[in-house]
Amino acid sequence: MKKDLSKVRNIGISAHIDSGKTTLTERILFFTQRIHAIHEVRGKDGVGATMDSMDLERERGITIQSAATHCTWKDYAINIIDTPGHVDFTIEVERALRVLDGAVLILCSVGGVQSQSITVNRQMTRYKVPRIAFINKCDRTGANPGRVVQQLRDKLGLNAVLMQMPIGLESDLEGMIDLVAMQAVYFDGDQGREIRREAIPAHLQDEAQAKREELLDAASMFSDELMELMLEEGDIPEAVVHEAIRRGTLSLGLTPVMIGSAYKNKGIQLLLDAVATYLPTPMDIENTALDLNDEEAEKTVSNDPADPLVALAFKLEDGRYGQLTYIRTYQGEVKKGDTIINSRTGKKVKVGRLVRMHADEMEEIEEAGSGDIVALFGVDCASGDTFCAPELSWSMSSMHIPAPVISLAIKPVDNKAQINMAKALNRFTKEDPTFKTYVDHETSETIISGMGELHLEVYIERMKREYKAEVEVGAPQVAYRETITRRADFDYTHKKQTGGSGQFGRVAGFVEPLEEGEYEFVDQIVGGAIPREFISSCDKGFQKSLDKGTLTGAPITGVRITINDGAYHAVDSSDVAFQLAAIGAFRQGYDKAAAVIMEPIMKVAVEGPSEFQGAVMGSINQRRGVIIGTFEEGSYTVVEAEVPLVEMFGYSTTLRSLTQGKAEFTMEFSTYKQVPKGLADELIKAFNEKKKES
């Protein structure tokens, strides 16, 4: 039986930390009868939420890896990915949004739009993902959905429209008013399973009417039929309103806002109805792929199960039974026993086992159709690879991968740990594109890099638990960069005479600062001073020179190099000779170009009770931070600042002691800025001492 794609929804659940993503997913699984008992994220029963399947997630009460599951609501098949909220695991959100058609953005009715909500919304916008907002925790003290809707408009620039109105708030939350059907909805029976619809309470009638007018005004912009019905002031069928809201949502011009309390089991069924009604089917989203055989021409992916297969591998996991590759199928079907092609490597792959995931559990399936999210076993590939039917050679665009900002040196305690550590690092770098590792040739230390302290902490803990690799951890290292501040000329001749033919190449030109971007090469050679075949050799040599600066050994960035003269020898000039000439020329120019050290600056948001505002601002100032703004939300204050990453190590401990454990902070990479002179001198001195030792 062929699946009806109009009844398929692929959705992601994303939000700021502690907004209730995993709790909501748990309720969705319960109400769709995927699970038969509800477990809490930090439950006393010690079981933990279904989607937090890793021991570390259950202990810490946070989501570390995105988890996929699927369920059925009415006659809709819904694939769900629950994503982490911590910015350290941002790649999990990136890769989920890359393959999803729609998303649910969860907001806390007390916290409102928080720093990570802004990041997640930006990621959704990058991949043009239509979204529904769900204001959770309406049972909490200080809940104010109206204020959150205003923040969605002001801070995120969304055309947010309330679809519901609460009946009571905080501990008095009884139910909600459905502004499309104009009915009061209550959740009765065991764990809110039974929905009771009644007339709207008399004291809320006027307010509900006003809110409905707002909703209809916003929706009518996307439907001529609805606008005409409003002008005629006749009865408006619910189906017309739903269709208008759906159109607005799909065009990213409207964001329907649902309300409820996942913890109290209120509003979940209505949210599921909204997912089915307003979010896109796989056919509503246009995806493109490059045809590698046709001079990289762009093709539209059809979503038709009858067409040849195109699928994207978006996440890898090394499980108990080998590598598990999560794929999203965009067209065609994949069956057990099929032969498919990895378009990046050109290798043929046989589909041995095909499974559908439910957190860490899996069920074997025989085939998967277009628009499905499933997993393959024992397939060797990288994250972001495209799988095709043998007759195609298409490649889908991969995801945006942020650069790591923090590094640690790790050292195995013995030989056994060394072998296990190598296995662990091999697996983690394959699974997570934001986790990098390399060996520092000068110190022979293994360096791991990632998105933040928590990110690296989790991987070190996983090495110990999953691989029995005990490691010693060195001090955190910051990803410094070097750049130049002024133009400088170079004219360098590389000459080497040994027995037989020698090496000869002369390169002349200048280096100058580049405002945008990391590196640019400009060829202004005229009259064949350097033959065409050696121009790319010069470019290669310059690029090699950028790997290590002379001040601290950090990579060099923000440089434009122009070559305008040179010389060659008919016999002694070669690719290697011009590469070496370019390296020498760059060093000559770099030494005269007033090089400086740049450090990563983090955007930090500290949230805590207003009484600690002074202490929080003082702690940021002590860390060379620049406060950008503060705003109050009830009894809470949010302080936003830009602080150098090197000053943020250990800040969580300091903040806890300053605020009696009541404040929390999030940070993400913002930009690179020049290091102050005193610190620059220290870094250069330390680098020179290290060089002497080695």
Residue 400 clears pLDDT 80, i.e. is over it: no
Share of the chain above pLDDT 90, in %: 29
Q: CA 652 to CA 641: how far, in whole Å?
A: 15
**Which amino acid belongs to residue 360?**
D
Looking at residues 96-105, what average pLDDT do you find?
A: 85
Is 683 part of a structural domain of the chain? no
Query: Which pLDDT score, from 0 to 100, does residue 321 have?
Result: 64
Cβ pair 567, 494 in contact under 8 A: no
Query: Which pLDDT score, from 0 to 100, does residue 42 have?
Result: 45
Query: Which pLDDT score, from 0 to 100, does residue 245 have?
Result: 94
Looking at residues 549-578, what average pLDDT do you find?
A: 90
Query: Are residue 169 and residue 182 in the same domain, yes or no?
Result: yes
Among 20-29, 61-70, 325-334, 503-512, the least confident range: 61-70
Q: What is the pLDDT of residues 583-598, one digit of tens each?
A: 999 999 999 999 999 9
User: 32: burial class by Cβ within 10 Å (0-12, 13-18, 19+)?
Assistant: buried
Provide the domain count of the chain. 5
User: For every residue of 98-147, which 3-state class applies, written as one string?
Assistant: HHCCEEEEEEECCCECCHHHHHHHHHHHHCCCCEEEEEECCCCCCCCHHH
**Phi, psi at residue 664, to the nearest 5°?**
-140, 160
Query: Are residue 454 and residue 497 in the same domain, yes or no?
Result: no
Looking at per-residue pLDDT, the higher value among 643 and 44 belongs to 643
Strands 334-335 and 339-342 come out as unpaired
User: For every residue of 272-331, which 3-state class applies, written as one string?
Assistant: HHHHHHHCCCHHHCCEEEEECCCCCEEEEECCCCCCCCEEEEEEEEEECCEEEEEEEEEE
What's the domain range around 673?
599-678
Query: Are residue 293 and residue 362 in the same domain, yes or no?
Result: yes
Query: Which pLDDT score, from 0 to 100, does residue 47 have?
Result: 47
Query: Which pLDDT score, from 0 to 100, does residue 325 have?
Result: 87
Query: Are residue 630 and residue 573 in the same domain, yes or no?
Result: no
Query: Which pLDDT score, from 0 to 100, does residue 25 have?
Result: 82
CA-angle at 569, arms to 568 and 575, nearest 5°: 65
* Confidence label for 1 from pLDDT (cuts 50, 70 and 90): very low
Closest CA to 595 of 632, 541, 536, 549: 549
**What CATH number is associated with residue 642?**
3.30.70.240
For the entire predicted model, the pTM comes to: 0.71
Q: Which of 284, 308, 340 is the last residue of a domain?
A: 284
**What CATH number is associated with residue 350?**
2.40.30.10
Is 273 part of a structural domain of the chain? yes
Residue 427 clears pLDDT 70, i.e. is over it: yes
Is 689 part of a structural domain of the chain? no
Query: Are residue 247 and residue 293 in the same domain, yes or no?
Result: no
Query: Are residue 434 and residue 388 in the same domain, yes or no?
Result: no
Query: Which pLDDT score, from 0 to 100, does residue 355 have?
Result: 86
Most confident of 229-233, 639-643, 686-690: 639-643
* Confidence label for 646 from pLDDT (cuts 50, 70 and 90): confident
Cβ pair 503, 461 in contact under 8 A: no
Is 43 part of a structural domain of the chain? yes
The total of other beta-carbon atoms located within 10 Å of residue 189's CB is 10
* Confidence label for 295 from pLDDT (cuts 50, 70 and 90): low
- Residue 435, token pair as written in the block: 């986790």
Query: Are residue 85 and residue 183 in the same domain, yes or no?
Result: yes
**Which amino acid belongs to residue 90?**
T
Query: Are residue 150 and residue 297 in the same domain, yes or no?
Result: no
Query: Are residue 454 and residue 505 in the same domain, yes or no?
Result: no
Query: Are residue 176 and residue 257 in the same domain, yes or no?
Result: yes
Element (H, E) at 156: helix 145-156
Query: Are residue 298 and residue 230 in the same domain, yes or no?
Result: no
Residue 490: strand pairing partners: 509
Scanning 406-545, the segments in alpha helix (DSSP H) are 415-431, 453-467, 535-545
Cβ pair 459, 473 in contact under 8 A: no
Residue 10 clears pLDDT 80, i.e. is over it: yes
